[in-house]
């Protein structure tokens, strides 16, 4: 797997996610923060937090980006970027196009700005997502909302970054790092997990306890247009014996039926994983032996667009006020002007 970080936020996240990321920068100040990494710098002054300025930088350096990514072929690629910055947000379309042409599977982890960042971040985020729409069936997009994360993490940016890294790692390495090799009557393999994560469209992950309700996501929800749906019951690895484990499949079956009815046209992948269950997320505090994880891709784009359009409308309102020309009129007449001419 290859990890790419673009723009300052993207480079922070990518360098925390892996030891050898490919980093893209358009500003000297951003580059020097990552002196221990191999950073590809495309300008000294940056994009000035302007999407169009950033887009021009990437357009002028498109062939150089192709050269840098020439050896990244037939791989899974994760790209970290803020949607609110000028350079990172504007790089996502050209970098994704190059990666797709090289037969890679692409997951974009994008961070939405919080409302009080106002413009340009709000405007940049709308333009960034708009630029990805022509590619949305070929790239997966996993969105984090800083508006919500600021509240949850009490404005602790180190914790916010840590949360984004942890959740992305959990998504990608669900089987390799977050499950054990104990017996399961209904298994999930890595290729099935990858087919959902890199299946294209908007991606999300939920830990809702599915015996009590449908999974809750940041933006979208399950419906008949959902393309890929993986649901897994985690059973605590301290529970031993095939006959005991097999009984969990009996509990899981009606859950599978209910979810599959909701996503009736999707590729549906159910499974039982084994791991230490720390908490179940159930309203019933006595349930400590099992938990659920739902991963989906190709979520209904309209649910995302409704939220994004609200950001667009707010960005447009602020941009229009910013663009207003102040018109002034003289407030002294000729006589007064003559007197003031000392």
Tokens at 12, concatenated: 């922070």
pLDDT at residue 221 in the model: 87
Map tokens 């003289």 to a residue.
330
pLDDT band at 173 (very low <50, low <70, confident <90, very high): very high
pLDDT band at 339 (very low <50, low <70, confident <90, very high): very low
pLDDT over 90 at 123, yes or no: no
Burial of 261 (0-12, 13-18, 19+ CB in 10 A): exposed
pLDDT band at 129 (very low <50, low <70, confident <90, very high): confident
Q: What are phi and psi of 183, to 5 degrees?
A: -60, 140
pLDDT over 70 at 6, yes or no: yes
pLDDT at residue 340 in the model: 46
For 82-121, how does the pLDDT look when each residue is reduced to its tens digit (9 = 90+)?
998 888 999 999 999 999 999 999 999 999 887 776 677 7
pLDDT over 90 at 163, yes or no: yes
Q: What's the rounded mean pLDDT across residues 304-310?
A: 67
Going through the chain in order, the beta strands assigned E by DSSP cover: 2-6, 22-25, 39-41, 76-82, 105-112, 139-145, 201-206, 228-236, 267-275, 290-297
Domain residue extents for the chain: 2-172, 203-302
Q: What's the rounded mean pLDDT across residues 175-179?
A: 94
Tokens at 57, concatenated: 């930088």
User: Residues 6 or more apart from 235 whose CB is under 8 A from it?
Assistant: 184, 245, 248, 272, 273, 274, 277, 289, 290
pLDDT over 80 at 327, yes or no: no
The CATH classification number of 2-172 equals 3.40.50.1440
> Which residues on adjacent β-strands are paired with residue 2?
77
- Among residues 136, 141, 69, 146, the alpha carbon closest in space to that of 296 is found at 141
For 60-70, how does the pLDDT look when each residue is reduced to its tens digit (9 = 90+)?
999 999 999 99
For 133-158, how does the pLDDT look when each residue is reduced to its tens digit (9 = 90+)?
899 999 999 999 888 888 989 989 89
Q: What's the rounded mean pLDDT across residues 115-130?
A: 78
Asked if residue 258 lies in contact with residue 221, where contact means CB atoms within 8 angstroms, the answer is: no
Q: What's the rounded mean pLDDT across residues 208-228?
A: 92
The CATH classification number of 203-302 equals 3.30.1330
Q: What's the rounded mean pLDDT across residues 206-220?
A: 92
- Tell me, rounded to whole angstroms, the distance of Cα 49 from its chain centroid: 20
Residue with the larger pLDDT of the pair 96 and 337: 96
């Amino acid at each position: 797997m290859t990890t790419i970080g673009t723009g300052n936020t993207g480079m922070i996240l990518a360098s925390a996610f892996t030891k050898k990321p490919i980093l893209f920068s358009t500003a000297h100040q951003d580059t020097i923060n990552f002196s221990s990494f191999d950073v590809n710098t495309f300008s000294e002054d940056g994009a000035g937090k302007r999407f169009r300025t950033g887009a021009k930088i990437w357009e002028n350096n498109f062939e150089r980006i192709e050269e840098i990514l020439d050896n990244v072929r037939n791989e899974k690629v994760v790209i970290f970027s803020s949607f609110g910055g000028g350079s990172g947000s504007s790089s996502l379309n050209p970098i994704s196009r190059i990666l797709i042409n090289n037969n890679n599977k692409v997951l974009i982890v994008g961070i939405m700005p919080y409302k009080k960042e106002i413009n340009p971040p709000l405007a940049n985020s709308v333009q960034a997502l708009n630029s990805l729409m022509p590619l949305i069936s070929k790239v997966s997009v996993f969105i984090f909302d800083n508006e919500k994360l600021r509240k949850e993490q009490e404005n602790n940016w180190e914790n916010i970054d840590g949360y984004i890294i942890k959740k992305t790692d959990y998504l990608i390495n669900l089987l390799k790092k977050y499950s054990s090799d104990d017996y399961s009557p209904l298994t999930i393999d890595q290729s099935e997990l990858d087919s959902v994560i890199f299946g294209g469209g908007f991606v999300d992950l939920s830990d809702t306890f599915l015996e009590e309700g449908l999974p809750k996501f940041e933006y979208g929800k399950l419906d008949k247009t959902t393309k890929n749906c993986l649901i897994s019951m985690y059973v605590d690895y301290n529970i031993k014996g095939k006959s005991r484990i097999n009984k969990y499949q009996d509990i899981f079956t009606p859950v599978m039926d209910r979810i599959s009815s909701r996503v009736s046209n999707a590729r549906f992948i159910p499974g039982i994983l084994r791991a230490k269950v720390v908490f179940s997320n159930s309203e019933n505090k006595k349930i400590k032996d099992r938990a659920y994880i739902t991963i989906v891709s190709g979520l209904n784009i309209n649910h995302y667009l409704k939220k994004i359009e609200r950001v667009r409308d707010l960005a447009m309102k602020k941009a229009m006020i910013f663009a207003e020309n102040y018109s002034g009129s003289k407030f002294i007449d000729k006589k007064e002007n003559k007197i003031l001419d000392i």
